[in-house]
Structure 1
């Protein structure tokens, strides 16, 4: 017998005919309170109308008739609500000026003071505040008014040329910012005609992608700007940074230099080494130069092409018969007692970018990552600083194929985002849970429009899929200019080319990529070379700019070394002259000796 029939018979036998829902007095016999609430949910939220369609009862929060409001006749309504003295305002302005430009200072709580009072126009250093010093009221208005002299833009041709260059730079920055604001839904009052460009090089600038970026920025408390360590300034979206600084000043922005394994250690990593034990390796010979670096807690020997910085820290010249390596797992390596101290130094790009925002070096890898602990610790600090929030969201933005999804997979230590070595794999934004109070947001790659970027720059930054590029041979000369000749010779094992055409022909014949009649496949070989360039097979990087202070210090050191060398040369010359004089004195006959 079925279970339902048995239960029904039990209820009839025990005179228990209730179905679990209470009946409400006055309701329909066939509807209980639960069913009535369910039907009222469908009926609710709408205005009640009569047969003529007139609104008898407005919907919830839709009534246009407001009750008569009465204001309490109190003089406090017409007085100042908050008053601040001028000296207190000046003190607050000075304190904010000291901390505003510090990239490692976080504003936790804003005062109710209007921040517009802290603008430069109210300070004594602003041009508007010093107008009475140059043009007094008596000399401008009244009977003693003097004729106003025309204000000259420049006093010489050099100043005029410099002013023209500055105006051109400001115009280009304004043009890029207006284009970015136009894509992000802002107001673009200036209409500039864009340069004619192939459609494939406009990837990353569609409305769909910028709408995704807007959602990520709007939903994030911390924005991580992922940069390519090989070209940080080229993959930096400065127009987006200005937008965040202007429209969302309460959001935190940090830089992450990804792919730092593709550049020398002195470019992207931060070394903290006190004492290094050397291991001697036999039967293997590298180049004459070898770079030493710390990698994920283990010391490793880096690639030979990382010796591009002659005389830099961490660069050691080796003999041809011996090579030094660190912590290798090969069985024929034995330890020596040689130890030497290394000084601590900071990477150039990290030091340069840290002036604007906090910067971290990172290597995205699920099994062997670098910088993961530092990034997680930084995110934990942000979560601790914002204790008033239940959780914080961290958004990842940047150029396509810079490793945003790979960093998220590294932090989670498993594959939670789709990754690929081609741009455009991430289509929409995605929420990922890192911890209980920290959420990660993945964003598609964006390419801010810029008047300075050429088609070669866009292609070499990995924005465009190489297989969709027509006539890729035209970009090979720019590629050869970015790379050193010895790196290409070591990578492809070819020598003796004078231009890009000969390089493609030699590589095509070496790899056997020939067309009908023995002609080299220039298009296919060019696409392969560009792919190797973007994926890190060909070593290249943009050298970081050198600061003026560092340059001055190095010039002073060079001057000291030069003066010391001159003193040593003079001392050696004096010793040599004295020695020669003694030799001549010894060779003289005894009668001529004094």
Structure 2
């Protein structure tokens, strides 16, 4: 198993600023990766957020089978959360999320009115691990490209307030990640999904871990259909070596990158790396 640690300076700085700004926030939108909704939940967010309304945004719904959508929503609801499925790239699920954010913040203006004060825009923060789609989500909520967005970790470096409408302001926060990744099984899933920076892991180890995980989840047909190489008798590492010999003249690094890119771009199909706990 690969050992993964990644905590660049800009994330440490952003985390401190985010904690300060949370005092000014009315509602929290925590963005998760639909392929790994549990691994992409930051373990300290509950502590930071306290009693503020918190909506879970399960982004990249297009990258998991449709039958899992309602199952994840039901599971998170059973845990006391308000989950919303989105595909920020395609703009799906955005309107209902925006309405929910405004509704969650209504109590602020009710209190202001009771004191004879004017309404102000609800202040929401969009937060989560790097590269789970926060900036793409904000661009969809605003209706135009207002923050930089790319499918790689670490693009957003600073906190930035964005006015969506007269009703809501959004704080775009850089990805946050624990200083130490104690749950290495979760860290491996984050690396596979490109939700932490490449500097934190070895590409070949993570590609091997992906193969082992796909075998464990009974997705061996996905590998065999795409690469025309039977996987059952191989460990992840041995399969990567065999694949490198077959495809790239024994270049394991190139093969590892190709394998991970195929998964990350959805070229293998809609593959969840986690299931709601009662389905496991």
- TM band (smaller chain): 0.7 to 0.9
d(CA) in 1 for partners of 2:192, 2:74: 25
* 1:459 and 2:183 correspond: no
* 1:410 and 2:146 correspond: no
Partner of 1:237: 42
Q: How does 1:523-534 map to 2 (within 5 A)?
A: 523-534=253-264
Deviation of 1:507 after TM superposition, in Å, equals 3.4
**Secondary structure in 2 matching 1:227:** strand
Deviation of 1:229 after TM superposition, in Å, equals 0.9
d(CA) in 1 for partners of 2:8, 2:265: 19
| Structure with bigger gyration radius | 1
Residues 208, 258 of structure 1: alpha-carbon distance in 2 compared, 3 angstrom cutoff: same
Root-mean-square deviation (CA), in Å? 2.6
d(CA) in 1 for partners of 2:103, 2:81: 16
Deviation of 1:473 after TM superposition, in Å, equals 2.2
Which of 50, 55, 59 does residue 258 from structure 1 map onto? 59
Q: Is the 8 A contact 1:392 1:438 kept in 2?
A: yes
Residues 244, 379 of structure 1: alpha-carbon distance in 2 compared, 3 angstrom cutoff: closer
d(CA) in 2 for partners of 1:465, 1:206: 11
Q: How does 1:341-380 map to 2 (within 5 A)?
A: 347-354=70-77, 355-365=79-89, 368-380=90-102
Q: Is the 8 A contact 1:223 1:252 kept in 2?
A: yes
Q: Is the 8 A contact 2:37 2:58 kept in 1?
A: yes
d(CA) in 2 for partners of 1:393, 1:446: 19
Q: Is the 8 A contact 1:204 1:446 kept in 2?
A: no
Partner of 1:84: none
Superimposed CA distance per residue, residues 491-542 of structure 1 (whole angstroms, 9 cap, x where no aligned partner): x33223432345334433554x33xxxxx11112112222333343334211
Partner of 1:163: none
* 1:223 and 2:28 correspond: yes
Deviation of 1:219 after TM superposition, in Å, equals 2.6
Deviation of 1:221 after TM superposition, in Å, equals 0.8
Which of 478, 481, 495 does residue 229 from structure 2 map onto? 495
Deviation of 1:470 after TM superposition, in Å, equals 6.4
Q: Is the 8 A contact 1:393 1:441 kept in 2?
A: yes
Give the paired residue count. Answer: 259
* 1:543 and 2:270 correspond: no
Partner of 2:252: 522
**What TM-score do the two structures reach when normalised by structure 1?**
0.41
Partner of 1:181: none
**Runs (4+) of structure 1 moved beyond 4 Å?**
203-206
Residues 507, 399 of structure 1: alpha-carbon distance in 2 compared, 3 angstrom cutoff: same
Q: Which structure 2 segments of 5+ residues have no match?
A: 113-118
**Secondary structure in 1 matching 2:277:** coil
d(CA) in 2 for partners of 1:208, 1:488: 40
Q: Is the 8 A contact 1:508 1:521 kept in 2?
A: yes
Deviation of 1:477 after TM superposition, in Å, equals 3.2
Q: Is the 8 A contact 2:28 2:49 kept in 1?
A: no
Partner of 1:446: 176
Deviation of 1:228 after TM superposition, in Å, equals 0.8
Residues 221, 508 of structure 1: alpha-carbon distance in 2 compared, 3 angstrom cutoff: same
Deviation of 1:384 after TM superposition, in Å, equals 3.9
d(CA) in 2 for partners of 1:415, 1:406: 8
**Secondary structure in 1 matching 2:155:** coil
Residues 524, 493 of structure 1: alpha-carbon distance in 2 compared, 3 angstrom cutoff: closer
Partner of 1:485: 220
Q: Which structure 1 segments of 5+ residues have no match?
A: 1-196, 269-346, 515-519, 552-594
Partner of 2:115: none
Superimposed CA distance per residue, residues 377-421 of structure 1 (whole angstroms, 9 cap, x where no aligned partner): 212323544332412111011011101101111112221110111
d(CA) in 2 for partners of 1:420, 1:206: 17
Partner of 2:204: 473
d(CA) in 2 for partners of 1:470, 1:206: 17
d(CA) in 2 for partners of 1:501, 1:453: 18
Superimposed CA distance per residue, residues 96-139 of structure 1 (whole angstroms, 9 cap, x where no aligned partner): xxxxxxxxxxxxxxxxxxxxxxxxxxxxxxxxxxxxxxxxxxxx
d(CA) in 2 for partners of 1:208, 1:360: 29
Residues 406, 216 of structure 1: alpha-carbon distance in 2 compared, 3 angstrom cutoff: farther
Q: Is the 8 A contact 2:28 2:54 kept in 1?
A: yes
**Secondary structure in 2 matching 1:508:** helix
Residues 204, 353 of structure 1: alpha-carbon distance in 2 compared, 3 angstrom cutoff: farther
Q: Is the 8 A contact 2:207 2:257 kept in 1?
A: no
d(CA) in 1 for partners of 2:183, 2:41: 13
d(CA) in 1 for partners of 2:171, 2:101: 13
